[in-house]
Structure 1
Amino acid sequence: MASRIQLTNAESTGAPGKFASAEIRREAAASGMTIGEDAEAPSITLSVDKDAKAAPQSYQIRVRNSGGRRVIEVTGADTVGVMYGGLDVAEAIRTGTLDSLKDYEKSPHIAKRGIKFNIPLDLRTPSYTDCSDAAQANIPEVWEREFWIDYLDAMARHRYNVLSLWSLHPFPSMVKVPEFPEVALDDVWRTRIKLDDQFSFAGNDMVRPEMLADYEVVKRMTIDEKIEFWRWVMQQAADRGITIYVFTWNVFTFGAEGKHGITNDMGNEITKKYFRATIREMVKTYPLLGGMGITAGEGMPHDMDSKVKEAWLWDTYGEGVRDALKSEPQREFNMIHRFHWTAQSDILDAFKDYPGTFDFSFKYSVAHMYSITKPPFIQPLLENIAPGRRTWLTVRNDDIYSFRFGDPAYIREYVLNMPPQDKMAGFYMGPDGYCWGRDFLERNPTTGKRPLVMEKQWYSFMLVGRLAYDPSLPDSHFERALASRHPDVSSEQLFRALQGASQVMPLTTRFFWGDIDLKWYPEACLCHRLSKGQGFYTVKHFMEGSAMPGASVLCIRDWRARLNARQPMTETTPLEIATALDGAAAETFAAIAELRNTARDDRELQKTIHDCEALGWLGNYYAAKIRGACALALFDSTGDSFEHDSAIRHLNDALSHWKAYAAIRDAQYVPALYNRVGYVDVTALTEKVATDIDIARNWKPYSLKDDGKRSGSEKGFRQ
């Protein structure tokens, strides 16, 4: 590759072009290349074709020779398109493929590709995730400019262009409302008390009196400084082609309740006036805010007529936006309404006069994107959605919080199975059970400053963002990315290790289904202790459990019934899931065996190997547990001592695998409080794992009851 290049960036490329140019310069410097005027050096030019007929965000790269000189021309249909083309050039420099670049054109497969971030703003204005260790640690981080530079840079590099910030009631931390001057909050607070796992799933006790009684000020800021800060964040996002949305749940008044007569009572006229005014100020204060997302769910009576809910939302959010836009009617301010405890017809009736783009939002895989690549839950919505309307996909990743992972084949298929563009506005991906800020799980971070989750799990974020933009990218593209990150090891083996380890969660979750995150946390075989499973899922729970709807997987009860009736197994059986889990683990272990000796001087690679190994042992654990549950279910129906002995043997194997998993995982990660499953200590759970052996040993035949009922998923949508 050339040692010197010439770079020309046209003024028309704007701030996104400047970002791409800076990335090219950064990668060139890291590769030992210099940039400057040179008549013989390869020339790279960035420009925008204002007459281009291509879709927004599109670009083309043309490579030609001119007077013996190689010329690489990057032309975008708009400034974001040229930025993405420039980022391709930066990536080619990093991966050593600049000399082999050829002509090509790109346009986005999915136009809006987003991140869902439950943002921990302040003790007094919490998000759903705030009753967790990770969120508490991130409260001071989200008020630092360095955090957002890192965050938005990473988003742009991975081709995300939407950032949705979710909060129960963010407004006191973000705006001033003239009619309600006491609501705006100075400074940033965090409680000093130790949190527990007793917080309501409905979010209504996120701020307890004892939390307010013992707090620390983590940053001194006036409300005016906060407003300036968030304007700056939104400008930085826009400079990278990213649009910010703010999402709320309703009706919450954290930070405002008790001031000016404001309460969380929907019937309180003062509260309605406050919400309308604060939405107006939110829109006016932030000219770069792209829109808002709303919910007719938490904070409203569950059994309330959705017409009443929607009327309240229109009178507050809808009218607030209209008030703000009276002074700038040309501004586009989008509204996204989640399908959650409400009805489509009532939504559309209430918001028929909304002055802008009005879309829906739906939990696409409920809480588990790593399950199957074509979840069935959205189908009723697609069949009944109103003509001309589209929905966003809330792609919840409450499957993997700790580990580095990535399987491009799974993500590619997941993206290609998403609904067509005439019915889908875009997606935003993220968890409710963990905070996607900086990572505070690792015992010994690689650098002094805690990395972003997006930096630590760079490979998985890269896969989703890049394949959502261009699902035709081959596996070899990502193997080259791994090679450039870890040049001293076999990228083929590293690719195999990550891909094998990443199959564990989807295989397990499609067999043992808990639709929302508090019902199923596969890293610990756990649910919230106040949920249906009472904490750790035992072998009895596995026998009683149901498979994921639409996964074509038999649960143990259905498998046993067909086996006993000698009926054909037309779906995947539990034992086939177990075999696949063992196969994924074996592939992972074989790959990392090739990597260990050459990974000694690469701390990040060492941690990646440990993550893969931990997931491999977890796959072995679930495989053995499933086999033990199958054997115990057969013993239950036949009394066959062979099956009884087999169950005990498999569950002893499961215990050994869990111990190996816990030793590797907990050497790297700390126990932590999660807001949706409670306190998680994998090593301490070993005692629970061992009880499966006692359950099997003491099992009495004919104890497993089957009433034919199978658990389903949240409906999420109804007419």
Structure 2
Amino acid sequence: MLRTVVSTAVLASFLVWGCFGHPIWADEPGSIEFRGDIRTPQVAFAIDEILQSVFVTGTPQPRLVVEFRVDKKALPPQGYRIERMESPAGFRITGGDPTGAMYGGLDIAEAIRIHALNELPEGEHRPYIERRGIKFNIPLDVRTPSYSDNGDSFQANIPEVWSTAFWHEFLDEMARHRYNVLTLWNLHPFPSIVRVPEFPDVALNDVWRTRVRLDDSFSHSGSDMVRPEMLRDVEIVRRMTIDEKIAFWRHVMQYAHDRGIEVYWFTWNIFVWGTDGKYGITADRDNPVTIQYFRASVRELVRTYPLLAGIGITAGENMGRGDKRLTVEQWLWQTYGEGVRDALADQPGRSFRLIHRFHMTDLNEILKEFHNALDILEFSYKYSVAHMYSIPNPPFIKPVLERMPAGMKTWLTVRNDDIYSFRWGDPDYAREYILNMPGPDRLAGFYMGPDGYCWGREAIDVDGEVPRQLVMKKQWYSFLLWGRLSYDPALSNEHFRKILAARFPDVPSEKLFTAWAAASRVFPLITRFFWGDIDLRWFPEACMRYPAPRGFYTVKDFILGQTMPGSGVLNIQEWLNKKERTNENAIGPLEIASDLDNNAQKTLTLLADLKSRQVTGRELQRTLGDLEAMAYLGKYYAEKIRGAVNLAEFDREGQPDQKQAAVEHLQKALENWQNYARIALSWFKPQLLNRIGYVDLREITAYVEKDIEIARQWQPGSLKDELAPAPKK
């Protein structure tokens, strides 16, 4: 049995010099002995995390033994069992595979960090959801853009995604939070990541970024993501040959594998950015050269990266060109389906997934064309459309599950186009959302992430660190909650409170935990009341749709707006009509306003106490600032809803006091918005968001003010024509 003993007396130099793997024999009190299956990269990472925890906490330990074992017969992959040993004192961790053993070791590291090692329970752990992932729209190069590259955060992250240090930090953080899937999304990544023998001149050397100032005029279909002027003025952010790029991505995938993480590439179609028309390649669906090129590119992608776990494909957004002798699904099969089959023919034992998105297509057509690949075929569905922070049981997938053949599974695309800037954290909501996901007989896994903001390094802090902080580290509590609860939804709120207590020892953890959860309820409450399904139609941080700021939702929009399907919330017109109130459990707009107000006020009350303790740490200051900003945003929406209700009543009944009440509520809404904008702008810069436009809260304040004037000028019956039923045909 292998064993390594590390003395806490030499731990500091051990961590500085990174000398793990060289046994340091020390049997004196205060040493840590690691035994057993300790040579795998996954377990080595867990050991390093344990040592880091001891070093950071300075916790005096008696001599501690941690023994690692792997038993594939006793436990499933990712599963682990923790047993307490009495002599010698310590813990035995048995994993169903090295990843399970790593997770057990991470439990030990966390228990040390939160000063709860003596309370660590024994027992067996298995993943509640087998695959738990991140959706990452990846900006590879101006020549091979993602769907989202015309935004500030994506442009800032082009150099980062070609940095080994970035991916090491990112993948380590994923493993800590128990994510085991990374999906990389790009319109047409092949020229930047593979060499295709039949089309050798397509492969791109170096990494380019445009110097041209971008704006909100780009198509949301990706059809003009690369404009000629963007290629005429570029900077080379990194010199790399295509062979060096291939070596880079092989390293990233190996590092991911060593952290128990599968990597997938996802594409939209048909895009041929980066080919520059070479060999006659076009975006026409019926072009035989394009079909040959894609099939060969897919084949080489699978062959080039033995650790690639799968490919995800989209039946859109650019498949309309050509005379359409081929259907969409025929094209996808002849390119991606046949390309995967070509590659796997040489690797018959390889496990691989072909994930077809339920997007701009038909299930029967998919099954018809992909009948020769049903053994590797899975689906993917936008679970909450673009808004995971809405209700914890979205209804949209129900008809899809009813139509899916027995035995087939779908992934859930869990889109977060609700919160880009702030640190969210409500374990009750995350837990309920996860528990409402389909069961393992229908669910392959999930991956969460935005289209409108890059989850690389943050790019909006006014005094950002160098290098910029990972979004995953800035919003660490949110990522921790979703990752840990999707592995084990039985984790208690008390456990998360202890994590907060260890990270922020200068403030009462119970008050911080409660304030954080209360502030985080603002976004689900407002989005279930005011619903825009895709990100273009609703960005709650700014009360707008595309294009910013002209797409600001006025008080009139709130009067006419719809609530989220399946939410049980009445919109203002339904609430006024009463006849739609057949469901006794239906929630009215004033109840939503009250919930918003109550959670916001609870947050502000607790923050007053927390801030009185002379908080000095940068992270805690920023966290409390985020909570305060979210609270004032909640108060803004509460007053706006009340103003909209009063104005709708005035439109019907014409009572002057109703109009006056609306004006007063909207004046209060403005005051709360001003507080919100002041706090947010003290931390964050305005930014160009690819799906919304240029968002500057200071500029939007003028639109908030206009709501008051709209109310003052309102005349009874102004909505008569807009509320009239459509004429019968």
Same fold (TM over 0.5): yes
C-alpha distance in structure 1 between counterparts of 2:413 and 2:158, whole Å: 24
Give the match for residue 555 of structure 2: 539
Change in Cα spacing, 1:192 to 1:9, as seen in structure 2 (3 Å) is: farther
Query: In 1, Cα distance between the equivalents of 2:60 and 2:665?
Result: 60
Query: In the alignment, does 2:420 pair up with 1:401?
Result: yes
- Contact 2:76 2:96 survives alignment (8 Å): yes
Residue matched to 1:114: 133
Q: 1:231 to 1:355 in 2, by over 3 A?
A: farther
**Matched residue type, 2:557:** H
Distance 1:368 1:307 in 2: 34
Decide which of 282, 289, 311 is 1:292's aligned counterpart.
Answer: 311
**Residue 500 (structure 1) aligns with:** 518
In the alignment, what sits opposite 1:558?
574
Deviation at 1:176, TM superposition (A): 0.4
Q: Offset at 1:559?
A: 0.7
**1:529 matched residue in structure 2:** 547
- Pairing 1:43-62 to 2, within 5 Å after superposition: 43-52=65-74, 54-62=75-83
Q: Residues 236-255 of structure 1 correspond to what in structure 2 (within 5 A)?
A: 236-255=255-274
Aligned residue for 2:477?
Answer: 459
In the alignment, is residue 19 of structure 1 matched against residue 45 of structure 2? yes
Per-residue displacement from partner, 1:590-646 (whole Å, max 9, x unpaired)? 121121133532110000000000000000000000000000000000001110100
Alignment of structure 1 residues 6-85 onto 2, 5 Å: 6-11=32-37, 14-32=40-58, 41-52=63-74, 54-66=75-87, 69-85=88-104
Task: Give the CA deviation at 1:487.
Answer: 1.2
**What is aligned with 2:494?**
476
Displacement after TM superposition at 1:34 (Å): 8.2
Q: Please tell me whether the aligned partners of residues 284 and 321 of structure 2 are also in contact (alpha carbons under 8 angstroms).
A: no
- Decide whether the 8 Å contact of 1:306 with 1:343 is kept in 2: no
The answer to whether the 8 A contact 2:285-2:326 is kept is: no
Moved more, 514-523 or 97-106: 97-106
CA displacement at 1:483 relative to structure 2: 1.0
SS of the equivalent of 1:329 reads: coil
Distance 1:544 1:535 in 2: 15
Are 1:190 and 2:209 an aligned pair? yes
| Distance in 1 (alpha carbons) for counterparts of 2:671 and 2:570 | 26
Name the SS for the 1:99 alignment partner.
Answer: helix
Instruction: Find 2:697's aligned residue among 674, 682, 685.
Output: 682
Q: Is the 8 A contact 2:596 2:635 kept in 1?
A: yes
SS across alignment from 1:473:
coil
Identity across matched positions, percent: 55
Determine the structure 1 residue equivalent to 2:18. Answer: none
**Deviations 1:306-332, CA, capped at 9 Å, x for gaps:** 971111011000111111112111111
> Gapped runs of 5+ residues in structure 2?
1-7, 9-28
Superposed CA deviations along residues 351-387 of structure 1, whole A, max 9, x for unmatched, are 1112742100000000000000000000001111112
Q: Secondary structure at the match of 1:194?
A: coil
Q: Which has the higher contact order (CA 8 A, sep 6+)?
A: 1
Name segments (4+ residues, structure 1) moved above 3 Å: 302-307, 565-570
1:381-400 paired onto structure 2 within 5 Å: 381-400=400-419
Does the 8 Å CA contact 1:42/1:70 hold for their aligned counterparts?
Answer: yes
**Matching residue's letter, 2:489:** P
TM-score (norm 2): 0.93
2:290, 2:397 → 1: CA distance? 34
Question: Is structure 2 residue 512 aligned with structure 1 residue 486?
Answer: no
Residue 524 of structure 1, CA deviation: 0.3
Q: Does the aligned pair in 1 maintain the 2:286–2:323 contact within 8 Å?
A: no
Identify the residue that residue 616 of structure 2 maps to in structure 1.
601
Q: Distance in 1 between matches of 2:365 and 2:581?
A: 49
Paired with 1:307 and 1:454, the residues of 2 have a C-alpha distance of: 42
1:142 corresponding residue in structure 2: 161
Pairing partner for 2:242 from 203, 223, 241: 223
Paired letter, 1:308: T
Match of 1:323 among 342, 346, 349: 342
State whether residues 189 and 219 of structure 1, in contact with CA within 8 Å, keep that contact through their aligned partners in structure 2.
yes
Helix, strand or coil at the partner of 2:607: helix
Instruction: Give 5+ residue unaligned stretches, structure 1.
Output: 710-719
Could you tell me which of 656, 668, 672 is aligned with 1:653? 668
Match runs of 1:594-673 below 5 Å = 594-673=609-688
Give the Cα separation in 1 of the matches to 2:318 and 2:454: 22
* Residue 498 (structure 1) shift: 0.9
Who is 1:435 aligned against? Answer: 454
The answer on 1:261 being equivalent to 2:272 is no
**Matching of residue 512 in structure 1 with residue 527 in structure 2:** no
Question: Does the residue aligned with 1:401 lie in a helix, a strand or coil?
Answer: coil
CA pair 649-170 structure 1, distance change in 2 beyond 3 A: same
Worse-matched range after superposition: 177-186 or 4-13: 4-13
Q: CA deviation at 1:519?
A: 0.4
State whether structure 2 residue 181 is matched by structure 1 residue 155. no
Code of the residue aligned with 2:68 in structure 1: it is L
Whole-Å separation in 2 of the counterparts to 1:695 and 1:500: 32
- Would the alpha carbon gap of residues 568 and 172 (structure 1) be closer, same or farther in structure 2, given more than 3 Å must change? closer
Instruction: Find the aligned partners of 1:148 and 1:287 in 2 and give their Cα distance.
Output: 19
What amino acid is the match of 2:502?
S
Asked if the contact 1:302–1:341 (Cα under 8 Å) also holds between the matched residues in 2, the reply is: no
Match runs of 1:686-697 below 5 Å:
686-697=701-712
1:706 aligns to 2:688 (yes or no): no
2:284–2:322 Cα contact (<8 Å) kept = no
Contact 1:87–1:157 (CA<8 Å) still a contact in 2?
yes
SS at match of 2:619: helix
Deviations 1:268-301 (A, max 9, x none): 1111110000001000000000000001121112
Q: Give the counterpart letter for 2:685 in structure 1.
A: V
Equivalent residue letter for 1:123: V
Q: Distance in 1 between matches of 2:210 and 2:508?
A: 47
Matched, 1:363 2:378: no
Letter in 2 for 1:548: M
Judge conservation of contact 1:113–1:161 (CA < 8 Å) in 2: yes
Per the TM alignment, residue 12 of structure 1 is displaced from its structure 2 partner at its CA by 6.4
Q: Equivalent residue for 1:714?
A: none
Residue 411 of structure 1 aligns with an amino acid whose one-letter code is A
Q: Could you say if the C-alpha distance between residues 369 and 235 of structure 1 is closer, same or farther in structure 2, counting changes exceeding 3 Å?
A: same
Evaluate the alpha carbon distance shift between residue 619 and residue 302 of structure 1 in structure 2; reply closer, same or farther with a 3 A threshold: farther
Task: Spell out, residue by residue over 1:39-77, the C-alpha distance to the aligned partner (whole angstroms, 9 max, x if none).
Answer: x6121112212331x3211101001311xx422111111
User: What is the CA distance between 1:5 and its match in structure 2?
Assistant: 4.0
- Alpha-carbon shift at residue 340 of structure 1 (Å): 0.7
Q: Tell me which moved more, 485-494 or 621-630.
A: 485-494
Secondary structure of 1:75's counterpart equals strand
Say which SS state the counterpart of residue 606 (structure 1) adopts.
helix
1:247–1:293 Cα contact (<8 Å) kept:
yes
Provide Cα deviations, 1:116-162, integer angstroms capped at 9, x if missing partner: 00001000000011000000000001111110011000000000000
Question: 2:59–2:112: 8 Å Cα contact kept in structure 1?
Answer: no
